[in-house]
Amino acid sequence: MDRVFAQEDKLRLPNDPNLLNTGSLEGLFAQVITWTLAFLAVVAFTSVIYSGVLMITSGGDSAKFATAQKNLLWSIIGVIVATLAYVIVHFVTYLARELV
C-alpha cells in the first residue's frame, strides 16, 4: 500500500471509487448517472419532508391526511429506489474496474 502525505500537491488515493476517469466515455457515463441519482435522492427526501408538513397541516381532514400519507409512502419508496440505484451503479463500476 502506498503512503500518502498531506504535503503532496496531487493527492490521489488508490482504489477510490469516487475518482472517476472522466477522460473516457464510461467515466462520463458513470458521472452523469451519479449526479442524476443524487438529484433524484434530494427530490425524494424533499418530498418526504413536504409530505410530513402536509400531514401536520391537514387540520383533521381525513382526505388531505390520506393524500399526504400516500405521498409519504411513495416518497419513502423513491428514497429507497434512489439509494439502491446509487449502490448498484457504484458496485457495477467497481466490478468493471477490478475486472479490467
How much is the pLDDT for 66? 93
Rounded Cα distance between 34 and 95, Å, is 16
Task: Give the model confidence (pLDDT) of 51-78 as tens digits.
Answer: 999 999 988 899 999 999 999 999 889 8
- What residues have CB less than 8 Å from 34, skipping those under 6 apart? 20, 86, 89, 90
For the chain, the structural domain boundaries read 25-99
pLDDT tens digit string along 21-40? 556 777 777 788 878 888 88
In the chain, the largest separation of any two C-alpha atoms, in whole Å, equals 63
Using CA atoms, how far residue 98 sits from 14, 30, 55, in Å, is 12, 15, 47
Q: Which residues contact 60 (CB under 8 A, 6 or more apart)?
A: none
